Every structure is written in C-alpha cells, then in structure tokens.
C-alpha cells in the first residue's frame, strides 16, 4: 500500500491542473508514458495511475474552452443563435462542476484502487 495513494493522488491532480490549460488528450498521452516508467521504478501497478490520469485530465478539461474544443464549438453555435456566453458566467458554472466532479471521482477511485 505504501506509495499507492500519494502516487495516484499526484498523477490525478497534476493531470487535472494541466488540463485546465492544455488540451487534455496531449496531457494524457504524455503522462501515461511517465506513469509507466514511474510505476516500474517504484514497484507499483500502473493501471491505477493510468486511470487517475485519464479521469483527472478529462474532467478538468471542462473548465475552459481552450482546453476542451467541444466547449469552443458550443460557444460558437450559441453565438450564431444570438446568445453570447460571457467568461464570468461560464466560469461560475464550469468551476463548480469541475471541482465537484473531480472531487467525487477522486473519492470513488480511492475506494476502487486502494485496498
């Protein structure tokens, strides 16, 4: 058990933080290779780290339109229909959703991966 929770936690929240700035597919791909090497070096299973990276990056990417291209497309479609999405309004809702979903998924994943 030594190293499981801190390693998972680090990869989960680090991928989440990066995904608020950079498109999450790039983050996931880069960190998967790092997790494989890290797990091998410290005698850990890599699968929990892989899942932590995927979940953290994917959920956090919903914070900004820059990190999630689907949000940018949604904003463009809304503007075509005459509704301007203001950044403050967007962050008001997205930050609550992102922090809530990240926290809930983190707690669930601890139950799944840490025995």
pLDDT at 115: 58
User: Residue 44 pLDDT more than 60?
Assistant: yes
For the stretch 1-25, pLDDT in tens is 456 778 999 999 999 999 988 888 8
For the stretch 63-103, pLDDT in tens is 877 767 777 788 888 889 998 888 788 888 889 999 999 99
CB atoms under 10 Å from CB of 31, counted, come to 23
| Averaged pLDDT, 31-41 | 95
Instruction: Say how far apart CA 67 and CA 92 lie, in whole Å.
Output: 17
Q: Residue 67 to residues 8, 49, 62: CA-CA distances in angstroms?
A: 22, 21, 7
């Amino acid at each position: 058990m030594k190293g499981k929770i801190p390693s998972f936690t680090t990869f989960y929240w680090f991928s989440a933080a990066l995904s608020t700035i950079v498109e999450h597919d790039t983050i996931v791909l880069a960190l998967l290779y790092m997790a494989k090497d890290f797990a091998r070096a410290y005698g850990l299973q890599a699968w929990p780290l892989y899942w932590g990276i995927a979940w953290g990056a994917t959920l956090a990417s919903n914070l900004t339109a820059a990190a999630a291209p689907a949000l940018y497309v949604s904003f463009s479609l809304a503007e075509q229909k005459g509704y301007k999405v203001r950044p403050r309004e967007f962050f008001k809702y997205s930050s609550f959703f992102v922090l809530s979903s990240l926290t809930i998924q983190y707690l669930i994943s601890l139950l799944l991966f840490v025995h």
